[in-house]
Amino acid sequence: MSETLTLRRPDDWHLHLRDKDMLKAVLPETARHFARAIIMPNLVPPVVRGDDALAYRDRILAALPDGMKFTPLMTLYLTEDTDPDDLAEAHTSGLIKAVKLYPAGATTNSASGVRDFDKVRPVLERMAEIGCPLCVHGEVVDADIDIFDREAVFIDRVLDPIRQAVPKLRVVMEHITTQNAADYVRSNQTGLAATITTHHLVINRNDILVGGIKPHYYCLPVAKREEHRLALRAAATSGDARFFLGTDSAPHTDPNKLSACGCAGCFTATNTMSILAEVFENEGALDKLEGFASLHGPAFYNLPANDESITLTKGGPFRYPEKLETPEGPVTIFDPGMDLHWRVA
């Protein structure tokens, strides 16, 4: 006899949809299960002004298959030349829900990001005034900092000084990967939250490197030691409303992932809900899954939870396709390395 689990329809608070043919191919994988998603603005060129966000939103909606219901929640890409008035107008109108901070050079398509954080102080102060959240890719890019330490150093060198200088700024630490970040969120009672990805709940750095390099597990921020993975699982399954789902699902074609300089990102949109149900069940916390996937994110963004629901059934193990075929080439679907017994009915 199969078991069932019914949840409010979830949202994804960190998603890459790309554009053009790739957008058309990957959008249904998210819209099948998720009602809304915070859309990353790191296109080429990036989404930096309200008009850019409006045009990108229209392209997303035009790519949505008939019969699917999905709301893209748009963001702007913060640069040292961001116009505070344009940003404020886009947020006040409801066009954008947040602004994304990429330290220049930190990850895919981040070359237009911030190098001198003092130059964006007026924009951050304006965002604090109007209640617009800042979504942060939390890594320093200094050459003398080990890649596994970038997140922890960012908290001390960049994030904490920003929050002290602009204390009313609401901040989402995106795709956290360390015990340090989880502890920092817990130590701050207001205005701070964090998203956690599906893949960082499943893999550690051994999974990337032991027995040969696994390019499809390579992401940024890179997965850390096992102690950090366990800390993320504890945070996600705790019921603490400051932690919620942001998949950071990031499609790259296999040739780009398998090249000499492989692209960073894991494509998890297809099987995220199955993986999360497995993880939360393993942690004895299935009753906390709805909060993490469906309730905590809307609460932080001052949005209502979705009225619709989804039902997962337990049976299997269920198998997902290894690849998503796109006009640009195959995209490998994240392999959690474990059997999946839950799927969305």
For the annotated catalytic residues, the residue numbers are 248
Both tokens of 64, joined, read 């949505």
Both tokens of 337, joined, read 């390395």
Instruction: Tell me how far the alpha carbon of residue 70 is from its chain's centroid.
Output: 17
Q: Which residue has the tokens 């337990």?
A: 314
Whole-angstrom CA distances from 94 to 88, 130, 171, 209, 303 are 10, 12, 18, 43, 12
Q: Helix 226-236 crosses helix 179-186 at what angle (to 10 degrees)? A: 30
Which residues fall within 8 angstroms of residue 183, CB to CB, at 6 or more apart? none
Q: Which residue has the tokens 């497995």?
A: 278
Report the alpha-carbon distance of residue 48 to residue 99 in Å, rounded.
Answer: 9
Classify residue 249 by its DSSP letter: B
Both tokens of 13, joined, read 């608070």
Which residues fall within 8 angstroms of residue 286, CB to CB, at 6 or more apart? 5, 277, 280
Contact assessment for residue 127 and residue 78, using Cβ atoms and an 8 Å cutoff: no
